[in-house]
Structure 1
Amino acid sequence: MTDTAPLARRRDPDRKEKILAAAAELVAQRGYHAVSMADIGARVGISGAAVYRHFDNKATLLLALFDRSLDRLLSDESEIVDRRDDIPDALRTLIERQVDFVVDEREFARVYYREVEHLQPDDQVRLRRKQRQYVEKWVHVVRELDPSLDESAARVLVHATIGAIQSALVHNVGMPDDRLKAMLRRAACAVVGLPGSVH
């Protein structure tokens, strides 16, 4: 006798990651408040209701996006620092990675800086902890470059350097991305006192 019972639907094991990727893309294009769960589902090929099976609401999805973005930056940073013996080159590469993030994902980065304050306090603390981890590796590299700096001075330089890069988030000069990136890299290298040209 042939079994004619319908086959159980298989859940896509990568669906959650696809939802996050779609959300990041849509937020970058339209802004956080203009994107609905239905929009995100449609981009993945599922209903908005199906998105809720993975995320309770848009705020929890946003938090997952922030985690994903910070985790990626931390992973890239560790690879850059751990695999390079040339300290100036490591710092240049850290600057380039930060510039790429700010320029290529500027809409999402703007959402982070606007919306992080609206998350639950525990979530804010956890994300701030990741930010501190990210900054501390920069501090270590800057002190390797200039051993005369104490930790406080190095931290000031790092925040000023990252701040110079993030200045692109608060204004739009209509400059082509490649030229903007070059100028931000130059400005960041000047702040941190990094000699030589950037890549």
Structure 2
Amino acid sequence: MTTTVTARNRAKAQRTDAILVAAAELFGARGYSSVSLEDIGAAVGISGPAVYRHFAGKQALLGALLIGVSEDLVAGGTAVVQGAADERTRMAMLVDFHVDFALRNADVIRVQDRDLAHLTEESRSDVRRLQRAYVGLWIDALSALVAADRDELRLRVQACFGLLNSTPHSTSAALRTRADTSRVLAAMAIAALTAAHG
């Protein structure tokens, strides 16, 4: 009996993950308002009403998507910070972590940029809280390398995110591989973060 329940739970979790991936792709391509639960269900081989077995509705699905990604960023960033040997390595590892995120999650970044307003007030508050925590990790790391107050450090970090998160809106076709793209973005990010005062 336990094996059956575990297998059923695992299958449900896999379907939930597939729905989130499909929602990110569809919301990213067409926008939240232009996608129905039927569209999302069809993308994973189920009916629209069957999506309700996993999420209370389309808005709840959007919330789960953006909150989940924000939680992953905070958890991953925290692990990077705790695992770095020194200040410069910590900053470089955070940049590499976010570059990898940006290149793997272009759809989610588009959704975040365009559809955050469609979240419930509670979900939007959760996303903002998690974003502040993630930015805080970067500010703390950068403060060891740049002599500036927190307002300036925050400006540098947010400008760096603007650079890295713009990648879904451009193409790296001119570069040969994703590794090349990652190298260029990481170098630009470090240069922007640590640029000397004018």
TM-score range, shorter chain: 0.7 to 0.9
Measured after TM superposition, the shift of residue 37 of structure 1 is: 2.2
More displaced 10-residue stretch of structure 1: 44-53 or 31-40: 31-40
* Structure 1 segment 115-126 matched on structure 2, within 5 A: 115-126=115-126
Query: In 2 relative to 1, CA 156–98 (structure 1 residues): closer, same or farther, beyond 3 Å?
Result: same
Give a deviation string over 1:149-181, Cα, whole Å, max 9, x none: 222222122112222212324444643462333
Q: Which has the larger radius of gyration?
A: 1
What is the match of residue 68 of structure 2? Answer: 68
What is the match of residue 77 of structure 2? Answer: 77
What is the match of residue 109 of structure 1? Answer: 109
Give a deviation string over 1:15-47, Cα, whole Å, max 9, x none: 43342234335545x444464423433444432
What is the match of residue 86 of structure 1? Answer: 86
1 or 2, which has the higher helix percentage? 2
8 Å CA contact retained: 2:81, 2:90: yes
How many residues were matched structurally?
184
What is the match of residue 182 of structure 1? Answer: 183
Q: Which amino acid aligns with 1:188?
A: A
What is the match of residue 97 of structure 1? Answer: 97
Structure 2 length as normaliser, TM-score? Answer: 0.79
What is the match of residue 3 of structure 2? Answer: none
What is the match of residue 47 of structure 2? Answer: 47
Q: Does 1:150 align with 2:149?
A: yes
What is the match of residue 4 of structure 1? Answer: none
Query: Aligned partners of 1:106, 1:62: CA distance in 2, in Å?
Result: 16
In percent, how many aligned pairs have the same letter? 33
SS of corresponding position for 1:117: helix
Query: In 2 relative to 1, CA 26–120 (structure 1 residues): closer, same or farther, beyond 3 Å?
Result: closer
Could you tell me which runs of 5 or more consecutive residues in structure 1 were left unpaired when the two chains were aligned.
Answer: 1-9, 195-199
Could you tell me which runs of 5 or more consecutive residues in structure 2 were left unpaired when the two chains were aligned.
Answer: 1-7
What is the match of residue 140 of structure 1? Answer: 140
